[in-house]
Amino acid sequence: PRPSTDPSVPDTVQMEGVRMSRWVCLLLVTPFVGVLQDQCRNSTTMMRARVAPSVRVGAGGRRTAHASSSQSLDELPGSLRRIVGAFQMVPDPMQRYKQLLYFASKLQPLAEEAHVEENRVKGCVSQVWVLPELREDGKVYFQADSDSQLTKGLAALLVEGLSGSTPQEIMGVTPDFIEMLGLKQSLTPSRNNGFLNMLKMMQKKTLELYAAQAKEDADTQV
């Protein structure tokens, strides 16, 4: 709200109105910022806890490392959980490779104007672009494209597995699900790394959308 510009209102009252307006804006926006900061901290903590080994002191004072518990299948978003389950039912690496090519054939085309630097996934062998959309239902939906059929299949797997999930669900996904898919035998180390970079990019863009939406919601309440 704007302070009064009525000449009959003293300057001190108008200035007080300005200070009150700023205070109200701060009061409304701060909770959203806190939620985002907590989300980032929690996600980082989960990643570190699952990647870093725990250390125990054994007999004779020797320290031994034990891997921390991984993310379970039940903790994945529903669509991604179903995809992982389907891949686990295919024991042959070559058949899993063909599954990826099938996903590539199902991927909807991405508009040419979306093939821009800000949507490009860094650290991939092939060119990959990712475009998210946060809809009114509070869920995120992805589009993607690549100039390689295999990489397009990996992108399509993530698009189908993460689309329709909430920002919180997407941010909670860890690289553990890549192990569950059993694709390491079918992919080179560089493509495995590129697959992980796609996930990170999707999570980064999801967080940016969530932050922008929170700010917009706060502005409309002022």
Distance CA 214, CA 212 (A): 5
SS3 165: strand
Active-site position among 104, 107, 124, 218: 124
Angle at 53 between CA 72 and CA 56, to 5 degrees: 120
SS3 61: helix
Q: Which of 140, 142, 165, 157 is nearest to 105 (CA)?
A: 157
Amino acid of residue 113: E
Is 40 a known active-site residue? no
Q: Residues 181, 158: contact at Cβ < 8 Å?
A: no
State how far Cα 140 lies from the chain centre: 9
* Residues with catalytic function: 124
